[in-house]
């Protein structure tokens, strides 16, 4: 049984393959949130399934090196999930992906760990929708990343979560605020709308908070939204006011854009698109 952690991330993992650069990086929304939560001073655990291939070993090593609790990690025989990523004018564009062995259902030990954590996070890439009712019942706070999913998807699941996070990188601030108000009426006590280079808005119990993006070089935006989520959740779990946590989160998210990959661990790809060398 995993010890109590501040944040428990449940769901997806992936290796992000950049064929134009000849490299790959570990990632995935749940993985990225867990790693960045630890980097922001919190404690985090990860619930998910890794493959037995080199890509799975890369993820396992990176998560362990970053200090993420892996007491509930599964390893299944087969290929790890992966995604093909292109960089277009500094922005990441997903070309296609394979889920590999990553789909799973939560169990009793996972739900017990969720009940001990200050906040549980999952999202639309994690295929955890069937488990949301159980996670919602177990968690003190349940965070869910809706990303840019259509309204019918948001309306279907938002009522089960406490913190709903959406992405609208091209929208105006007024539009983001209206979206937050609309989602708030579905039940979440806090709604965050990330606006990419324009920052983010948060509608919570204390009203509306607006924060600009941070400043710094933009090399690769992959994982920036996950970094924002991690810093925000660590701040909220630590008792920071919404506006303070949001400003820190947008600043931290921008800082992560100064390198390729979601959180580093660059690994060279061989001619077949697999890791050339990965330590166990």
Do residues 103 and 76 touch, judged by C-beta distance below 8 A?
no
Q: What is the pLDDT of residue 34?
A: 98
Q: Domain for residue 28, yes or no?
A: yes
We report the CATH number of the domain holding residue 88 as 3.40.1190.20
Task: Report the C-alpha gap between 55 and 57 in whole angstroms.
Answer: 5
Q: What is the pLDDT of residue 110?
A: 98
pTM for this entry: 0.92
Q: Domain for residue 144, yes or no?
A: yes
Q: Domain for residue 274, yes or no?
A: no
Q: Domain for residue 277, yes or no?
A: no
Domain encompassing residue 203: 7-268
The number of domains in the chain is 1
200: region left, alpha or beta (phi > 0 left; psi from -120 to 50 alpha): beta
Task: Over range 229-246, report the average pLDDT.
Answer: 97
Q: Domain for residue 276, yes or no?
A: no
Q: Domain for residue 22, yes or no?
A: yes
Do residues 82 and 14 touch, judged by C-beta distance below 8 A?
yes
Residue 7: beta bridge partners? 44, 119
Q: Domain for residue 275, yes or no?
A: no
Q: Domain for residue 279, yes or no?
A: no
| Mean pLDDT lowest among 82-96, 139-153, 182-196, 199-213 | 82-96
Q: pLDDT band for position 272 (50/70/90)? A: low
| Mean pLDDT lowest among 13-27, 96-110, 161-175 | 13-27
Task: Report the C-alpha gap between 243 and 251 in whole angstroms.
Answer: 12
Task: Over range 259-280, report the average pLDDT.
Answer: 72
Average per-residue pLDDT for the chain: 92
| Mean pLDDT lowest among 85-89, 166-170, 189-193 | 85-89
> For residue 1, is pLDDT > 60?
no
């Amino acid at each position: 049984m995993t010890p109590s952690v501040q944040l428990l991330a449940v769901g997806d993992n992936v290796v992000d393959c950049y064929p134009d650069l000849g490299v790959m990086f570990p990632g995935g929304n749940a993985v990225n949130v867990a790693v960045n939560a630890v980097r922001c001073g919190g404690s985090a655990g990860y619930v998910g399934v890794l493959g037995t291939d080199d890509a799975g070993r890369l993820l396992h090593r990176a998560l362990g090196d970053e200090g993420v609790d892996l007491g509930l990690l599964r390893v299944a025989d087969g290929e790890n999930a992966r995604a093909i990523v292109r960089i277009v004018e500094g922005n990441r564009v997903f070309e296609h992906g394979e889920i590999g062995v990553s789909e799973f259902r939560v169990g009793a030990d996972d739900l017990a760990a969720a009940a001990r954590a200050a906040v549980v996070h999952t999202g639309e890439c994690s295929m955890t929708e069937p488990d949301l009712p159980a996670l919602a019942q177990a968690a003190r706070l349940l965070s869910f990343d809706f990303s840019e999913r259509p309204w019918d998807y948001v309306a279907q699941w938002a009522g089960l979560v406490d913190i709903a996070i959406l992405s609208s990188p091209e929208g105006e601030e007024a539009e983001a605020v209206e979206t937050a108000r609309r989602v708030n009426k579905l039940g979440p006590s806090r709604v965050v709308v990330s606006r990419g280079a324009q920052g983010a808005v948060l509608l919570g119990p204390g009203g509306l908070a607006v924060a600009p993006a941070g400043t710094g070089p933009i090399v690769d935006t992959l994982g920036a939204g996950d970094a924002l989520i991690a810093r925000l959740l660590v701040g909220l779990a630590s008792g920071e006011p919404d506006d303070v946590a949001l400003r820190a989160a947008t600043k931290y998210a921008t800082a992560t854009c100064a390198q390729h990959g979601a959180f580093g661990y660059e690994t060279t790809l061989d001619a077949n698109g697999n890791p050339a060398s990965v330590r166990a």
